[in-house]
Structures are given as C-alpha cells and as structure tokens.
Amino acid sequence: MRITLRTKLLLIAGVTAAALLLDLVSSGLIGMSQARDLVDLESRIVPRLALAPRLQADFGQLRQSMQNAVAAQDTGALEATFARRDELLKVISNAEPAISKPDASNLRFAVEEYYSAAIDISRRLIAGETGEAIGQDIEAMQAKQTAVTDTIQRATSLGHNEAASAFATVRRANERGNLYRVVFGATGLALLLFLSVRTSRGLLRAVTDISSGFSRFGKGSFDKPIALQTDDELTDIARAANEMARDLGELNAERDRIEWLQQSLVGLTDQIRGEFTPAEVTQRALDYLAVRTGALVGTFHMVNQQAVFSLTSQYGLAPAGQGEEMGEPWASFSLNQGLAGRAAASSDVIVVSDPPPNYLRVRSSLGAADPQALVLVPLKYLGKSIGLIELALLGPCSPQVTEFLTSMREGLAIALTKAKSREVLKDLLTQAQQQSERLAAQEEELRSNNQELESQQEVLRDANDELEQQRKVLSERNAELEQTRQGLQEKAAELSRMSSYKSQFLANMSHELRTPLNSMLILSHLLAENDGGRLSEKQVEHARTVHSAGQDLLLLINQVLDLAKIEAGRQEVHLEEVDLASIAANARRVFQPLTNEKGLELLVELGADAPATIVTDRQRLERILTNLLGNAIKFTSSGQVGLRIRRPDANVHFARADLDPKACVAFSVSDTGIGIAQDAHERVFAPFEQVDAEPDQRHAGTGLGLAIARESANLIGGELQLSSEPGVGSTFTCFLPEKRGPVSDFVRTPKKPNGQKPLPVASASDLHVLVIEDDPILAEQLVDIIRARSLNVRVATSGQEGLVAAREQQPRGIVLDVKLPDIDGWTVMERLRRDPSTSSIPVHFISAVDTPQRGYALGAIGYLTKPVSRDELVSVVRVLIPPSDTHRPCVLVVEDNTREGLSLMALLAKEGVDLLHVTNATAALAALEKERVGCMILDLGLPDSDGLELLQTLRKRTHLQWPRVVVHTGRALTRRETHELETYAEAVILKDGGSAERLLEEVRLFTRHVREHLPPAPTQKAVLQAASEVSLNGATILVAEDDMRTVYAVSALLRGKGAEVLVADTGVEALNQLAKTPRISAVLMDVMMPEMDGYEAMRQLRANPKFSNLPVIALTAKAMKGERERCIAAGASDYLTKPVDNDLLLVTVANWLKADKRAAT
C-alpha cells in the first residue's frame, strides 16, 4: 500500500491541532470562573476606596464656601451653603452599599452637627464678634470638624477579613485551572512525539539512498542506479535520477570522441606549424597521422607543377627487396591514374576495407601481416588537388579515424601551400638582402660627404662670431657717439639760450637808445625848420647834420634790433612768389648810381637756366642782396661788382641738408675788391667783424650786414657761402630753395584774385585806374594787370602830370609812387586830398620807402613796399576797383573770445563803420539775416559750430548777399582747410603779431567801398589834411611821459601847432590830471612809466565812462610783436612807435581830435 508523505504529515498536524484545542477550551472555562470572582471584588471594594477622597473633598468645599462667605461678609452666600451641605448628605446616602448603613447615618449626623456649629460661628464672625467667647466656640466647632473627617475615614476603610476571603476564592479557582492545562498538554505532546519519530525514520533512509546515488553520479559512475525500496515521492526522485545518469554516460562518450578529434587536429597543427619546407611538412604530417590513426604504413604524394603526383614522404615501408611479393610504392602518378589517381581526384576520403591478400604486407623485423584497411586521403586547396595520403591499418578503420582524416585535410592543405609560398618568398628575400647591402655601402659614402659639409659649416660659424664681436664694438662706439652728441646738444642748447639772452639784451638796449634818439630827431628837425628864423644858415646846416646823423644811428639801431630779432627767432617770414627778373631790375636800379659814383662797373646777369619766379620772402632776399652788393661796392675801389642769378652747379656742397642743387637758385655777388683771407671766412659773418682789424675810414660800417644776410638766408631756408682770395676779390653766393614750405609762424595766403567776377562798369568816368609811377617796368606790369581786367588805365610818370590827370579824368583809383622825379608822392597825396574833386579817390601807395604808417595817415587805402609781386599788384587793383556787390554798411565780428572780440571792435572802431559783435555761429547767422552785413570777420573756432560750417550754411542761404569774408583764426590750418576756406573767404589771416594790420587793411578795403557810396562828409577833408596844415588851436593835450626829453620835444611840437599841453610823468599823475581838468581833449600815453604804467592807466581811464570816447594815443619804444595789440586791448585809440615821426604824430592827433568832435556832435 502506498502511504504518501502528505498523508503522514497531515496526520501529525491533526493530532497537534486536537491537543491545542483541548487546552484552549479548558483555559477558557477556568478564566471565566476567575473573572466572576474578580468582578465581585471590583464592584464591592473599589468604590469604597474611591469614596473617602470624594467625601473629604466635598467636605473641604463646604468649609471653603463658608469661609468665602465670611471673607465677603455676605450672609446670602452663607445661606447658600445649605445646598452644599444637602449635597454632601446626598452623596453619603448614595454611597451605600459601599459603606454600611450605620456608617452612613453616623457620617450624616456628624456633618449636620458640624454644619450647625459652623454656620453659627460664621454668622457671628460676619457680625464682627471677637473676643474670648467666640474663640472657645470656634475650638468646639473645630472638634466637630475633626469628628466628621474621622467618621469618613472609618466608614471608608475596608475590613481585613472581607478582603482576605475574596482574594482566597480567586486564588483557588486559578490553581484548579492550571492543573487541567498541564494534563491535556502532556497527553498531546506525547502523541505528537510518537508520530514524528516514526515518520522521520522512513524519510531519512530514503533520503540517504538518494544522496549516496547522487554523489556516485557526480563522480562520473553512472552504472549503479539508486535502489527503490518504498513507493512514495522520494522513490519518484530516485527514478528520475537514474534516467539522468544514463543520459549523462552517453554524453560523456560523445565528448571523448570529439575531444580525441580535436586533440588530433591540434597535434597535427602543432607538428606542421613553423617554417618548414614542403617536404618537411609532408614527412611530419605523415608521421603524426600514422601514429595517431595506428597506421603501420603510409605514403604522401604531392602534386608538382606538371600536375604529376610524386612521392615525397613515406612511413613504415620496408626497405626495398625485403618483401618480394610486395609492390614498390608508386613514385609518381597522374590524376585519375589507378586507384591512387582516382582517390586524388575525389573529394572524399576513400576507405578500402579488407584489401585482397598480398595487396600489401606490413612488416617488422619480427614478422609480417596483411593490413585490414586502406585509407586514401586527397588534399585539395581552393578546389585543386595538391596531394594524396595513403595509409594502411592493421585493424578496421573506425569512423572516428575517418572523421579525423576528413577534418584535418583543409588545414594540412593550407599548411602545405603556405610552405610552398614561403619557399618562393625566401628566394625573393635573398635577392632583397643583396640589394640592401649595396644600399648600405652608398649610405656610408653619403655620410662621409656630410661630415665634410659640417666641418665647413663650423668654419662659417667662427666667422659669424667674429662679425658679432665687431658689431658689439660698433654699438659701443655708437653709444659713446650718442653720449657725445647729447653733450653737444646740451651745449648747443646752452649756447642758444645765451644767444637769446644776448638778443634780448640788444633788443632792450636798442629800445633804451631809441627813446633819447627820438627827442634828438624831433628837436633837430624843429631846429632845421628854423620857424623863428633866428638861426644862421650855418646853424641850420648843423641841425640838419645832427638830424641826418641821428637817422643813421636809427638805421644802425634798427639793424641791430633786426639781427637780434632774427637771432631770437622772432622774425617773421613772409612767403610769396618772387619774380627774379624784377629782383635783377631792382638791384640794377638801386646800385647803378652807387657804382657810377665810385667809377665801378655793375654787372647784373639773370641766367637762362634760372626759373622765372621762386617762392620766398622777397623783403629778406632784397635785404640780403642789398647787404652783399653794398659790401661789395664798399670794399671795391676799382673794377666791377656783379650779381648773377642762376642755377647752382650740381656739385655744390650745402651745409643744410634740405637744400637740393636742382631745386635751388644761386644769387652770386662778386667783386674785384680786397678779398678775404681763408682763415677769416668764418669771421666775416660774425656780427661787428670786418676783415681789417684796424679801423679804416674807407670801410666804415657796422659790420652787421653780413651777419644779417646770413641769418636772413637761414631764416628763409637758404644758405650763404663765400669764396674769396685776398687781393683778387670775393664772391658771396646765396642759395635759396625755389619753393619754401610754410615753416614760420606766419603764413600769408595769397589774396584771392577776383578776375572771374564780373567787373563793375565805370560809371563816372571811363578811366578806372591812374598809375603815377616813374619806373616803366612796374608801370608796365600794372598796366598789363589792369588791362587784363578790361579796365582803362593811364600812366603818369611825374607827380604833376598825375595830379592833372586825376583832376581831369577823375579815375576810380590811383596807384602812387613816393619817389617821383618832380614832387614826391606824399605831396601828391596831400594835394589830391586838398582838392575836393579828387579827395575821395582811393589812393594806393607803392613805394620803396618803408613807412606805411605815413601813407595810411595821409588817407591811403593801401601801402606796398617795393619790390612788389605780381599778386600784390593784382590785389592793389582789386582794392582800388572792388567788385560792386561788396559794399555793405556793416562789419560783423564773429569771435567767441569776448576779450579778443572787444579788442577787434576797438581796433575797427575808428574805421567809421557800423560794427556788430556776436560770439557764436547761430547769432552770426541771425545777424546776417537781419542786418546788411558787408564784411564778416570770422573766427573759425566757435562754440556751437565750426567757422567753415557757418560759411557752408551761409552759402546755402542764397537769398542772402554774400559778404566780404575775412577769416581771422588762431588755428594752424592744414593745406586742405586753407584751400577750402579760400573758396569762401577773401582773406585768411592767422592771429599773430602782424594780424592786426592785415585785418585793418582788409577792413579798410571794405570801408573804402562804403565811403565811396556815402555822401562825402564835410569833415573828411580836414581829417585827411597833411601834417603841415594841422592846427591844434583850442585843443588841450595831456602828455603822460616820464622821459623829459620826449616830453619837451613833443610839447614843443604840439604847442607849435597851437595846442595847450599838460604833462604827467606817471600813470597815477595822468589819471589825476584827467580828473582835475575836464577840458583835456586827447592823451598821449607812454606805456613805460614808473608807479603805474601806461597799460594800467589806460585800463583805469577806460573804466570811467566819462572817458570812454577820449582819444588816447599810446607811445611805445617797444617795436615788438604784439605790442600794438597790447595797447589796443588796454584801451588805446591808436599806437605810435618811438622815435615818433613828427608829421605822423600831428596827423594822428589831429585825426583823432576830429573824430572825437564828430562823435560829440
């Protein structure tokens, strides 16, 4: 019968459950009886235990409520305590049966007792009773209180016996329950133990059998299966394990077979691996195969290139001749030839079992036997037969062997083919090695060549090092040179500083010299005039000598000053285009009389190769030539003096680096004079040096000429050279560049020619310009220029002729020379002005005499110093005959610097035009819109816009009349800017020392046009009176001057003309005088005075509105740059330099007095 494990286990579980159930039931029954006992205990005893504190608390509350009522003195509250008492009593009654009936009634009684006493006491306390009686009653009441608490205690305490019996009952019930549980538990456990032991023993045996079986299988012995004893689930397991063991045994055998195959293949591969020849491969393979397959005899045929299989290796064949019945193996056969040939062609291994007897005998030295099987193994590589293996076995050929032979074929075929290829490769390698050896030999040769090259390179490097050394030495020398150069520079700087000190000194000195000279000249002139007629002819002659000596001295001082100025670098360069022909002509004109006088011959030669014009400073060039020619004439007693203008020789050497012989002109002045020794060549150029150390009357002179000439040449970018031989003569050559860039601080922009503009049609007269000039060359030039502008021109060669022509033909303009054959230009001018018919004709001076102030004082509109350029002549014509549209009655000054603007206003005020001053471009445009502006003086740097932009804007406003624009700027302009400005402006003037005159000149051109169109003022004639006509009757003039000589001279001059003269020797004194004497009509103010100088005095004077129109003429010996501006800025109406020209002084004073009077009326 099959009893399964499940059945056994269920049986054990059932027994266990039954035992547990029994135990549970008995425990429940016992517990229930115990609970009953405990409930009884709880309901009887516990309430009584809780009652005591409850009662005590309620009693305490009752007392507290009474106390509160007493404290509050509240009888009502006291009566309310009855309720509390009743409550307490009720609680006591409800406490039964927790306390016994007698206990409860006792307690109620005690409480009532206490309460009646306490309520009495409380009432008395509220009533305010004190004293001993109540004290005793209180104590009685307190005794009752104690009785209550004691009673509560007694009633609630538990009786001992009662508690003990209750607990004993509970304990007994508990003990009974325990006994039942032990009995049931023990029985259950015993039954369980019995069943478990039985079952486990059977299980254990089966499991042991199975586990030993598994361990056997694990060790690989599958032959003994597990014994099957019982029939349950474990038996099933054993059965399955036995089946598994069988399968595993079969698998093992298969694995052994494969393993043998693999090992054999690997063994074969090992044998034939390596670099073997094909023969070696076949032999090793055959040997291995024979051993592995158990073959006793074997052959290996390999195919050759002729497709013939030839025997390459054999195994186990007996030596020839030992077995007569046995055929020799085939040495060779072809494909499909015989069995071997067929086998070779086949793709499978062929097994021939049991070959016929005597087919082959396998022999050893011990005996011979017939093989039982023949195996033919063809070898193929890429489908081509390459060999055949034949094996003879004694036993039958197992499938395992066949399989092995089949599997190894491919590997063997590959190895064989590889061995063949290797052989071929080996041959190739041998060839390659031979070539490589040859290459090595060539390389060796190359290396030796390389070494040779390296050694050459070494030599080169050495040479290089040497060069580096030399370079270092050179750079050190350079540094030394640089040091020396710096030292030299410092010295040069020091020298130039010293030189400038010297120049400063000279300038100051000449100023100091001029002041006394001034008075000397004035007084000697007065004396020579001999107005009183008291002097004898002789005395007048002496006075004239004094005057002319003074003039000479003045010339000398001017020269010194000039030189000093050049050296101090203050000289200005005025560049212009210079016509060389005119230079030559001038030289001849000036020096011909002198040479004639000395009986010398003057040669002036203008070379054919010389350019027609050069750009340079004409005045300087003339001065240089004058000096050189003057010297030459001075030092030449016989023979000739020459001036040659030509291109320099190409080989000439210049000290200046910027000179180029091809772009130069040489001005050579040669003489046949005493000559200069070689060692004195440098010395002659030094100031105050002459070639003869001893004083020689013949050669009297300052010795400054050459110095000035040299400095001047330098200044205009040229060079002065000397070549001379004593006794033969000297040649001074001045080389000047043809074109000179703007290097100085003064750039003169050529005036814009107005040739394109339509020319005005002469209205009053057909004659436009009258030229009063005796120099035919200049006259001709002027005529050309004027005619080129379709204007009529007439030339008068004498003053008289000119005056007549002017009166008769009423020209629109006159060009006047000063030096005329009959009467001089000054006189002509005066007469023109005196004649009402000619007084308003504009006159322009062109003179060799450099006194423009005098010209302007006489009323000229322009003054040019000869020699003049063509451009200047053009501008003269333009000034005289201006374009018709420029006359506007108003001058607009656009200047953002207020001070500068005011000084410009002051400068222009006396020109008699309306003036407007604005400080920015916007205001300027507004003014241009509103006012009739004929002339605009424009500063370029404006706060809101550039001057140029302003002009461009203005150009766009076509409805506006285009004014005459004079650009007056402090800015250095680029070439482009200048060019652009020239398209708009009449003139571009840079703010510097000379700018005021230039500006004045430009404005005068304008004012002249205005005047022409105004009705002639009645006073105009008087203003333009000549000095001799001046009358200062009735005028009171204050002369503020500390130098008494000047005071005397000037006073004498002014008094001579009828003026009253007051004198002040300091600025303070001058102001005092002015304050004291209201009738003063003009002031001559020296700028250099003690205490308060003239500038300050003028400023203070102008600060007083009373004197704002008072003419103040500044006198200064400082002929320095910017002096005029300083004076005007300080408030001067005009400015005169010392030594004062008498005529000029009178004209100026008269002029200002008239102007003042006119302003007053």
Q: Name the residue among 79, 61, 73 with its Cα closest to residue 119.
A: 79
Q: Which stretch binds another protein (CB under 8 A): 126-134, 624-632, 832-840, 1132-1140?
A: 126-134
Comparison of 76 and 131: residue with beta carbon closer to another protein? 131
Q: Is 138 in the site for another protein (CB under 8 A)?
A: yes
Q: Is 118 in the site for another protein (CB under 8 A)?
A: yes
Comparison of 118 and 392: residue with beta carbon closer to another protein? 118
Q: Is 121 in the site for another protein (CB under 8 A)?
A: yes
Q: For another protein, which residue of 132, 452, 531, 649 counts as binding (CB under 8 A)?
A: 132
Residue 117: other Cβ atoms inside 10 A: 18
Q: Is 153 in the site for another protein (CB under 8 A)?
A: no
352: alpha, beta or left? (left if phi > 0; alpha if psi -120 to 50): beta
What is the closest distance, in whole angstroms, from the C-beta atom of residue 54 to another protein in the complex? 19
Q: Is 125 in the site for another protein (CB under 8 A)?
A: yes
The token duo for 488 is: 């030299």
Q: Decide: 1136 and 1086 in contact? Cβ < 8 Å.
A: no
Q: For another protein, which residue of 4, 7, 43, 64 counts as binding (CB under 8 A)?
A: 64
Comparison of 145 and 271: residue with beta carbon closer to another protein? 145
What is the closest distance, in whole angstroms, from the C-beta atom of residue 62 to another protein in the complex? 9
What is the closest distance, in whole angstroms, from the C-beta atom of residue 169 to another protein in the complex? 42
Q: Is 966 in the site for another protein (CB under 8 A)?
A: no
Taking the C-alpha atoms of residue 846 and residue 67, their distance in angstroms, rounded to an integer, is 147
Comparison of 130 and 763: residue with beta carbon closer to another protein? 130
Residue for token pair 């005159």: 997
Q: Is 134 in the site for another protein (CB under 8 A)?
A: yes
Q: For another protein, which residue of 1, 2, 102, 130 counts as binding (CB under 8 A)?
A: 130
Q: Is 124 in the site for another protein (CB under 8 A)?
A: no
Q: Name the residue among 915, 875, 905, 1109 with its Cα closest to residue 1010.
A: 915
Taking the C-alpha atoms of residue 914 and residue 892, their distance in angstroms, rounded to an integer, is 8
Q: Which stretch binds another protein (CB under 8 A): 138-146, 251-259, 1025-1033, 1126-1134?
A: 138-146
The token duo for 1074 is: 């002015």
**Helix, coil or strand: residue 230:** coil
What is the closest distance, in whole angstroms, from the C-beta atom of residue 67 to another protein in the complex? 4
Q: For another protein, which residue of 19, 30, 51, 70 counts as binding (CB under 8 A)?
A: 70
What is the closest distance, in whole angstroms, from the C-beta atom of residue 170 to another protein in the complex? 41
Residues 6+ apart with CB under 8 A from 489: none
Q: Which stretch binds another protein (CB under 8 A): 63-71, 238-246, 507-515, 1051-1059?
A: 63-71
| Residues touching another protein, count (CB under 8 A) | 20
Q: Is 56 in the site for another protein (CB under 8 A)?
A: no
Q: Is 145 in the site for another protein (CB under 8 A)?
A: yes
Residue for token pair 């052959």: 299
**Helix, coil or strand: residue 22:** helix
What is the closest distance, in whole angstroms, from the C-beta atom of residue 51 to another protein in the complex? 21
Comparison of 70 and 295: residue with beta carbon closer to another protein? 70
What is the closest distance, in whole angstroms, from the C-beta atom of residue 168 to another protein in the complex? 41
The token duo for 1097 is: 């005095």
Q: Is 261 in the site for another protein (CB under 8 A)?
A: no
Q: Decide: 850 and 828 in contact? Cβ < 8 Å.
A: no
Q: For another protein, which residue of 1, 2, 102, 135 counts as binding (CB under 8 A)?
A: 135
Query: Which letter, b or e, does each residue of 493-517 get, where b requires 16 or more Cβ atoms within 10 Å of its Cβ?
Result: eeeeeeeeeebeebbeebbebbbeb
Q: Which stretch binds another protein (CB under 8 A): 59-67, 375-383, 469-477, 1135-1143?
A: 59-67
Q: Which stretch binds another protein (CB under 8 A): 135-143, 572-580, 833-841, 898-906?
A: 135-143
Comparison of 146 and 153: residue with beta carbon closer to another protein? 146
Comparison of 136 and 837: residue with beta carbon closer to another protein? 136
Binding mask 397-436 for another protein (x = CB under 8 A): ----------------------------------------
DSSP 726-756: TTTEEEEEEEEESS----SS--PPPPPP-TT
Residue for token pair 């039982």: 372
Residue 739: other Cβ atoms inside 10 A: 13
- Taking the CA atoms of residue 356, residue 357, residue 361 and residue 362 in that order, the dihedral angle to the nearest 10 degrees is 80
DSSP E strands in 47-159: the ranges are none
- Taking the CA atoms of residue 989, residue 994, residue 999 and residue 1002 in that order, the dihedral angle to the nearest 10 degrees is -90
Q: Is 111 in the site for another protein (CB under 8 A)?
A: no
Comparison of 131 and 399: residue with beta carbon closer to another protein? 131
Q: Which stretch binds another protein (CB under 8 A): 132-140, 284-292, 447-455, 835-843?
A: 132-140
Q: Is 146 in the site for another protein (CB under 8 A)?
A: yes
Comparison of 138 and 308: residue with beta carbon closer to another protein? 138
Q: Which stretch binds another protein (CB under 8 A): 61-69, 247-255, 634-642, 972-980?
A: 61-69
Q: Is 649 in the site for another protein (CB under 8 A)?
A: no
Q: Which amino acid is at 359?
A: Y
Q: Is 147 in the site for another protein (CB under 8 A)?
A: no
Q: Is 1046 in the site for another protein (CB under 8 A)?
A: no
Q: Is 376 in the site for another protein (CB under 8 A)?
A: no
Q: Is 142 in the site for another protein (CB under 8 A)?
A: yes
The two beta strands, 719-725 and 729-737, are antiparallel
Residues 6+ apart with CB under 8 A from 261: 400, 403, 404, 407
Q: Is 63 in the site for another protein (CB under 8 A)?
A: yes
Helix (H) or strand (E) holding 466: helix 399-529
- Residues 71-90 close enough to bind another protein by CB under 8 A: 71
- Residues 716-745 close enough to bind another protein by CB under 8 A: none
Q: Is 67 in the site for another protein (CB under 8 A)?
A: yes
Binding mask 322-361 for another protein (x = CB under 8 A): ----------------------------------------
Taking the C-alpha atoms of residue 929 and residue 961, their distance in angstroms, rounded to an integer, is 9
Helix (H) or strand (E) holding 252: helix 233-272
Q: Name the residue among 80, 133, 135, 141 with its Cα closest to residue 114.
A: 141
Comparison of 120 and 480: residue with beta carbon closer to another protein? 120
**Which residues on neighbouring strands pair with residue 670, listed in sequence order?**
642, 731
What is the closest distance, in whole angstroms, from the C-beta atom of residue 165 to another protein in the complex? 38
Let me know if 588 is exposed, middle or buried by CB neighbors in 10 A (0-12, 13-18, 19+).
Answer: middle
What is the closest distance, in whole angstroms, from the C-beta atom of residue 131 to another protein in the complex? 5
Any alpha helices (H) in 530-610, and if so which ranges?
537-567, 580-598
Taking the C-alpha atoms of residue 719 and residue 204, their distance in angstroms, rounded to an integer, is 143
What is the closest distance, in whole angstroms, from the C-beta atom of residue 178 to another protein in the complex? 53
**Helix, coil or strand: residue 962:** coil
Q: What is the 3-state secondary structure (H, E, C) of 488-508?
A: HHHHHHHHHHHHHHHHHHHHH
What is the closest distance, in whole angstroms, from the C-beta atom of residue 175 to another protein in the complex? 50
Name the site residues for another protein (rule: CB under 8 A): 63-64, 66-67, 70-71, 118, 121, 125, 130-132, 134-136, 138-139, 142, 145-146
